[in-house]
């Protein structure tokens, strides 16, 4: 493998991404989203979506049960806080390992099938985990209340070292506010970097080959299982990492994180942003989390002020209609946008951007025939 894996474009993309993430507190200011709590969630769900895309985007296997790994990651992190230490690093390692193991188990079984069966198998496993977390596994998950930190937690490692911190910390530095955000942002960049390396590597090429024609891969005497399983486990670990980060920023884990709705959300994020692209899923995650936060805060009062310039009767009508799409009804908007995206723009926002760029460039260079390079057969 002596080929150059890092091209200039890759480096530029990574650099641009790093700057965009680290500068979030600045460029999100005008959008009213520059507070650590929300930006943390941007980073966390960005990681989740990047990981999901490694499976769905590269191999084409649509998992409807990824929230299970997210939830397992959260539980593992909280247990690490309870039993070992309030430090974030053991919690992350623990969560990634456990969710990786969990993904190995589920992936081994689910990947025996493909297509819709794979989707249903993963959905079945996620629902099983969710139902069990609510019922029999209550000693581990604390059921409906959710797993919380208590004063009686042993925290063996902390006790041995004589630390008595009560909130998640990184080497003694409490992860609150901006510290928490930069911690998550750092991990998001690392996660992005790893995903970029995977996509560019021969391994990533294999995965994409599986997506485009698995049968041909089989006919050439190629066993695809280890590759799909590896992709599944990696993406499960990403989900576990994201789940653990959510538990670190707020040490509480509930079973609803594993429900199919949560699995559906990450699918929405990835599709909205652009399946199979590196940046797309992250953008999808940001957009969904942003509008979830902003839209759901809209109420009729704000709407009335927004549409103040309209005549009274018209204003009331407009407010009545729009109020169905914001606030409580923001999921309706999300669903509609999602349907439109799948129908008209299956490549998501990234494809939209590409088309726009393509459209803007064409009139400038009328002489060029097809700017898109044709792949060699």
Partner 1 sequence: MFEVILLQFINGLDKGGAYALIALGLTLVFGTLGVVNFAHGALFMLGAFCAVTFQKLITLETVTVDPSQLSPWGTPVEVREPLVQAWLGDFGAVLVNYSVPFSLLLAIPVMLVIGIAMERGLIKYFYKRPHAEQILVTFGLAIVLQEIIKASFGANPIPQPVPTDLRGAADIGVMLGLNPGIITYPIWRLVYFLFSGVVIGAVFAFLRFTTFGMVVRAGMADRETVGLLGINIDRRFTIMFGLAAVVAGMAGVMYTPLLPPNYHLGMDFLVLSFVVVVVGGMGSLPGAVAAGFLLGILQSFASMTQVKALVPGIDQIIIYLVAVIILLVRPRGLLGRRGVMEA
Going along the chain, which residue ranges are E strands? 147-148, 169-170, 173-174, 252-253
Q: Least distance from C-beta 286 to partner 1, angstroms?
A: 19
Q: Least distance from C-beta 12 to partner 1, angstroms?
A: 31
Beta bridge partners of 253: 147
Residue 101 or 120: the one with the smaller Cβ distance to partner 1 is 120
Q: Least distance from C-beta 212 to partner 1, angstroms?
A: 12
| Sequence-separated contacts (24+) of 283-286 with Cβ below 8 Å | 283/349, 283/350, 284/49, 284/348, 284/349, 285/42, 285/45, 285/46, 285/48, 285/49, 286/42, 286/45, 286/46
Q: Least distance from C-beta 339 to partner 1, angstroms?
A: 4
Residue 139 or 221: the one with the smaller Cβ distance to partner 1 is 139
For residue 4, the SS3 value is: coil
Residue 89 or 109: the one with the smaller Cβ distance to partner 1 is 109
Residue 172: phi and psi, rounded to 5, are 90, -15
Residue 130 or 238: the one with the smaller Cβ distance to partner 1 is 130
- At which residue do the structure tokens 């709705």 appear? 261
d(CA 139, CA 237): 24
Query: What is the binding site for partner 1 (CB under 8 A)?
Result: 60, 62, 109, 112-117, 119-121, 123-125, 127-128, 131-132, 134-137, 260-261, 264, 267-268, 271, 324, 328-329, 331-332, 334-336, 338-339, 342-343, 346
For residue 356, the SS3 value is: helix
Contact 224, 218 (CB under 8 A): yes
Q: Least distance from C-beta 248 to partner 1, angstroms?
A: 29
Residue 20 or 337: the one with the smaller Cβ distance to partner 1 is 337
Residue 86 or 334: the one with the smaller Cβ distance to partner 1 is 334
- At which residue do the structure tokens 């957009």 appear? 287
Q: Which of 336, 304, 339 is nearest to 323 (CA)?
A: 304
Q: Least distance from C-beta 274 to partner 1, angstroms?
A: 13
């Amino acid at each position: 493998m002596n080929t150059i894996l890092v091209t200039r474009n890759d480096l530029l993309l990574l650099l641009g991404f790093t700057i965009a993430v680290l500068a979030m507190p600045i460029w999100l200011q005008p959008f009213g989203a520059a507070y650590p709590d929300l930006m943390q969630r941007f980073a966390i769900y960005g990681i989740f979506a990047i990981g999901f895309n490694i499976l769905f985007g590269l191999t084409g296997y649509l998992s409807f049960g990824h929230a299970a790994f997210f939830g397992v990651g959260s539980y593992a992190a909280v247990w690490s806080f309870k039993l070992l230490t309030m430090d974030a690093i053991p919690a992350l390692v623990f969560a990634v390992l456990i969710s990786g193991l969990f993904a190995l188990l589920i992936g081994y079984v689910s990947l025996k099938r493909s297509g819709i069966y794979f989707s249903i198998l993963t959905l079945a496993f996620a629902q099983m985990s969710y139902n069990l977390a609510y019922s029999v596994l209550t000693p581990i998950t604390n059921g409906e209340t959710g797993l919380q930190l208590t004063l009686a937690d042993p925290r063996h490692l902390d006790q041995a070292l004589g630390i008595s911190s009560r909130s998640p910390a990184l080497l003694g530095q409490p992860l609150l506010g901006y510290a928490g955000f930069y911690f998550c942002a750092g991990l998001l960049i690392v996660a992005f970097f790893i995903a970029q390396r995977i996509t560019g590597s021969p391994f990533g090429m294999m995965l994409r080959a599986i997506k485009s024609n698995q049968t041909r891969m089989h006919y050439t005497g190629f066993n695809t299982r280890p590759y799909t399983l590896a992709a599944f486990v990696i993406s499960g670990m990403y989900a576990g990492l994201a789940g653990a980060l959510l538990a670190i920023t707020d040490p509480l884990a509930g079973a609803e994180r594993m429900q199919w709705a949560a699995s559906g959300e990450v699918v929405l994020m990835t599709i909205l942003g652009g399946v199979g692209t590196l940046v797309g899923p992250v953008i999808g995650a940001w957009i969904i989390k942003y509008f979830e936060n902003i839209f759901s805060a809209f109420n009729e009062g704000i709407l009335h002020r927004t549409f103040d310039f309209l005549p009274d009767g018209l204003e009331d009508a407009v407010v009545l209609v729009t109020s169905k799409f914001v606030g409580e009804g923001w999921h309706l908007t999300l669903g509609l946008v999602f349907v439109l995206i799948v129908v008209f723009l299956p490549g998501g926002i990234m494809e939209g951007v590409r088309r726009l760029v393509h459209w803007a460039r064409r009139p400038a260079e009328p002489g060029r025939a097809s700017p898109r390079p044709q792949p060699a057969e």
